[in-house]
């Protein structure tokens, strides 16, 4: 993990977590059960509302996944294991961590994992 400071990455991860949590309120409102007045709203409006609800639910699912990944990365920072590939124990390149601070694998191991399915 060459020049990356664990404290800086910890701060970045905490900021990511804070940003995701602040989006939660907006997402919750959009994923509420769609209740429309059938006499006043056309079929396309109902379809739009249902599509927006489905998109909000998917966003919520992805947000929860990202929050779990961030929590894992924060735990690795605290344990002194951040920036170490969980497959081969080699350091993960700094640029990869800058791109995705929650990554678990170095580029080579990630490529092998992707090829194997």
What pLDDT digit, counting tens, does each position of 69-80 carry? 999 999 999 999
Q: Which two tokens stand for residue 76?
A: 């690795």
What does the pLDDT average to over 33-58? Answer: 71
25-43 pLDDT, tens digit each: 666 665 555 555 555 556 6
Alpha-carbon distance of 43 to 108, in angstroms, equals 50
Residue 50 lies in a domain: yes
Asked if the model's pLDDT at residue 92 lies above 70, the reply is yes
- Count how many domains the chain has: 1
CB crowding 100-110: b at 16 or more within 10 Å, else e:
ebbbbbbeebb
Closest CA to 34 of 53, 12, 55: 53
Range of weakest confidence among 44-48, 82-86, 101-105, 113-117? 44-48
Highest mean pLDDT among 27-41, 44-58, 85-99: 85-99
Alpha-carbon distance of 20 to 111, in angstroms, equals 28
Residue 72 lies in a domain: yes
pTM over 0.85: no
Q: In the structure, what pLDDT confidence band is assigned to residue 1 with cuts at 50, 70 and 90? A: very low
Across-strand partners of 84? 91
Alpha-carbon distance of 31 to 56, in angstroms, equals 5
Residue 115 lies in a domain: no
Which domain covers residue 66, as residue numbers? 6-82
Alpha-carbon distance of 113 to 107, in angstroms, equals 10
Residue 34 lies in a domain: yes
């Amino acid at each position: 993990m060459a020049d990356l400071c664990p404290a800086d990455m910890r701060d970045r991860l905490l900021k990511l977590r804070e940003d995701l949590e602040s989006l939660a309120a907006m997402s919750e409102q959009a994923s509420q059960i769609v209740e429309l007045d059938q006499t006043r709203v056309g079929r396309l409006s109902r379809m739009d509302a249902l599509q927006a609800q489905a998109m909000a639910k998917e966003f919520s699912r992805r947000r929860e996944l990202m929050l779990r990944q961030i929590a894992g990365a924060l735990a690795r920072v605290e344990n002194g294991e951040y920036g170490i590939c969980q497959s081969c124990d080699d350091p993960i390149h700094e640029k990869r961590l800058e791109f995705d601070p929650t990554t678990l694998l170095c580029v080579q191991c990630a490529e092998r994992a992707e090829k194997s399915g």
